[in-house]
Amino acid sequence: MRFESVPDYHMHTPRCNHATGNVMDYCQAALNVGLKEIGMSDHSPMPGGFDAAWRMANNELPDYLAEVENARDTLAGRLDVRIGIEADFHPGTENAVSGMIQAYAWDYVIGSVHYIGDWAFDNPDELARWKDMDVEQAYCDYFELVGQSALSGMFDVIGHPDLIKKFGQRPPEGSIRVEMAENAMLESVLASGAALEISSAGLRKPVGEIYPQARIVHKAAKLGIPFAFGSDAHAPGEVGHGMDECLTMLVQAGVQSVVAFQQRQRRDVLIQAVS
């Protein structure tokens, strides 16, 4: 199915050291594919040198904000540009992250889990560590952290909520433990009031599947958890990628709208098919 565009709220800049294109390039790409609203959400600074190679440094944050503000002001009336950030949820860093969030008038904040303990499970450089892992346990630990991230209350959107599958490792078929961990995660998201991200990035990764998988989308929809769309673009050509696939999955789960944010106030955007 094809749909009217909805906001794409997940894209990066070269400050994270693994993306290309400046903010205006992402905006131009968004206009080219017919989007009306986007949000930048580069990887935030984190305290204590956490994952420093894969994110902007503290002293790059003002420049990031100025670049996005400038694009927003320049394109006013043509493209709505929101100012977001993708912060990591990592136990022990909450105070610093919360301080960063309080210090600026964000339109929204995405909270993502990229680490289990000291293991960056989605980092290609740490792929070898999967062979020492109990896959079922890794999934359970991951969903536990995602649930905690929601309950921290710091985030508007819970990023790519089954990222653990990125490289294609799968728990045993029908694992009750993983199902229960998924359910607990969703109950936490529901209680927190945050939106769940539906992300097309997984379609471009070895797993070849939307984050989160259809089973989770259907359970979340049944609970009434809202969704936000993100392409997680790390290059301008990825802006809006996979939007129709993601919206098709939402519609099949009975979801009628996605959310948008301005100054952390949420509104609904109807999902409308194009005939």
Binding site for Fe ion (CB under 5 A): 86, 112, 232
CB of 112 to Fe ion, least distance (A): 4
CB of 39 to Zn ion, least distance (A): 13
Give the nearer residue to Zn ion in terms of CB position, either 88 or 107.
Answer: 88
Give kind and range of the element (H or E) at residue 230: strand 227-230
> Does residue 238 touch Zn ion according to CB under 5 A?
no
Give the total of residues touching Zn ion (CB under 5 A): 1
Angstrom distance (rounded) from CA 144 to CA 88 = 15
Give the nearer residue to Zn ion in terms of CB position, either 75 or 210.
Answer: 210
Give the nearer residue to Fe ion in terms of CB position, either 71 or 87.
Answer: 87
- In our burial notation (b when 16+ CB lie closer than 10 A, e otherwise), range 185-223 reads bbebbbebebbbbbbbbbbebebeebbbbeebbbbbbee
> Does residue 197 touch Zn ion according to CB under 5 A?
no
Give the nearer residue to Zn ion in terms of CB position, either 141 or 232.
Answer: 232
Q: Are 189 and 143 in contact (CB under 8 A)?
A: no
Angstrom distance (rounded) from CA 180 to CA 143 = 10
CB of 30 to Zn ion, least distance (A): 17
Give the nearer residue to Zn ion in terms of CB position, either 9 or 75.
Answer: 9
CB of 199 to Zn ion, least distance (A): 7
Could you tell me which of 6, 5, 8, 11 has the C-alpha nearest to residue 232?
11
User: Which residue's beta carbon is nearest to the bound Fe ion?
Assistant: 112
Q: Are 249 and 219 in contact (CB under 8 A)?
A: no
3-state SS of 23-62 is HHHHHHHHHHCCCCEEEECCECCCHHHCCHHHCCCHHHHH
CB of 235 to Fe ion, least distance (A): 12
Judged by CB under 5 A, the stretch of 89-97, 184-192, 230-238, 245-253 that binds Zn ion is 230-238
> Does residue 232 touch Zn ion according to CB under 5 A?
yes
Per CB under 5 A, residues contacting Zn ion are: 232
